[in-house]
Amino acid sequence: MYRFKPYKIHLHGKQVEITTPWVMGILNVTPDSFYNGSRYDKKTEIAARVHQIIDEGAKIIDIGGYSSRPGANEVSPEEEYERLALGLSVIRQEKPDAIISVDTFRADIARRCVEDWNIDIINDISGGILDNHMFDTVAELQVPYILMHMRGTPATMQHHTQYGNVTEEVIKELNAKIDTLRQKGVNDIIIDPGFGFSKTVEQNYEMMNHLEYFQSFGMPLLVGISRKSMIYKALGITPETALNGTTVLNTIALMKGAHILRVHDVKEAVEAVKTVTLAKQSSTI
C-alpha cells in the first residue's frame, strides 16, 4: 500500500489541495457512449445526473459531448459545442459552484467552454495529438490540463498497441509531452495513463500492476477504468454488469496512490475512497 501524496492545483487563481483522493463523476451529453447508463441528452435527465454526481460526493463533474469509443460517429465541432453548452447551462443553473472538467480534444471547444462557461479543467483524451493547437491554448487559458496517453485516434487506437514494456513506454511518451507543456508555461498538469486507449486488455492490467511508477511525475494521477473493456472482456460480461470489477480496480488504483477516480458510479467510488483512506490511516507500515 502506497502513501498518498497531497497535491495542489489552481482553479481560477485559487490554490486547491487534493488531500484525499477525489472522485470525478462522468456526464456524457451524447447519444452513443459505450455504457448505456451514462447517456444524457435532455435537460431533466442532465439535471438529475448533476444532482446525483454532487450529492453522492464527487468533487468534479466531467462533461463530454463526443464519444471516444471505437466506431463512434463523427461529431462536428458545432454539434459537440451545442451538446456541451446544453449540459453546461444545466450544471451552472443547478450547481453553480461545481468544479467542471470538459472532455474534449478540440482546442477551440476547450477555449469556448472556458470563456463562455468558466469551466475549471480541460480533459484531453488525445494528449494534444488530435489538435496541435491544444497545448498553446491551455497555456494561454492557464487552466489545469488532464494529459492522457493515447496513440492514433479513437478509431485507430487499437492498431497501435505495439510496446516493448507498456508502462515504461507510456511514461516516456508522457514525459516528452510534459516537457513541451512546461516549456509553454502550463503549470497544472494531471496525468492519465489512458487505460483502454491503444492498449490491449493484458497491457491494461500490466500497467495497473505498475501504477505506482506514475508517481514519479510528481503530479496528480487520474485513473479512468470505469466499466471499461479491460473489465467486461476479461470477465465475459457487459459494461452494464461491470460495476463490481470497476470497484475492485478502483480500490487497487487507490492503494497505489491514485488522486482522482473518473467514474460512472460515484457512490461506490466515494465509498472505496473512504475505506482505502481508513485502511491507510490505520497502517503502521
The catalytic residue positions are 228, 262
What is the rounded CA–CA span in Å between residue 38 and residue 45?
A: 11
CA max distance for the chain = 54
Domain boundaries, the chain: 10-280
Q: Is 151 left (phi over 0), alpha (psi -120 to 50) or beta?
A: beta
CATH architecture under which domain 10-280 falls: Alpha-Beta Barrel (3.20)
Q: Is 198 left (phi over 0), alpha (psi -120 to 50) or beta?
A: left
What is the rounded CA–CA span in Å between residue 175 and residue 263?
A: 25
- Could you say which DSSP state residue 157 is in? G
Cα distances from 90 to residues 45, 54, 100, 109, 282, in angstroms, run 10, 13, 12, 18, 41
Q: Which residues contact 227 (CB under 8 A, 6 or more apart)?
A: 34, 35, 239, 240, 242, 243, 246, 264
Pairing of strands 60-64, 99-103: parallel
Residue type, 212: E
Residue type, 232: Y
One digit per residue, the tens of pLDDT, for the chain of length 285 reads 677 889 999 998 899 999 999 999 999 998 755 555 555 668 999 999 999 999 999 999 999 998 876 655 678 999 999 999 999 999 999 999 999 999 999 999 999 999 999 999 999 999 999 999 999 999 999 999 999 999 988 888 888 899 999 999 999 999 999 999 999 999 999 999 999 999 999 999 999 999 999 999 999 999 999 999 999 999 999 999 999 999 999 999 999 999 999 999 999 999 999 999 999 887 654
| Per-residue model confidence (pLDDT) at position 36 | 57
Please report, to the nearest 10 degrees, the dihedral formed by the alpha carbons of residues 4, 138, 81, 240 taken in order: -20
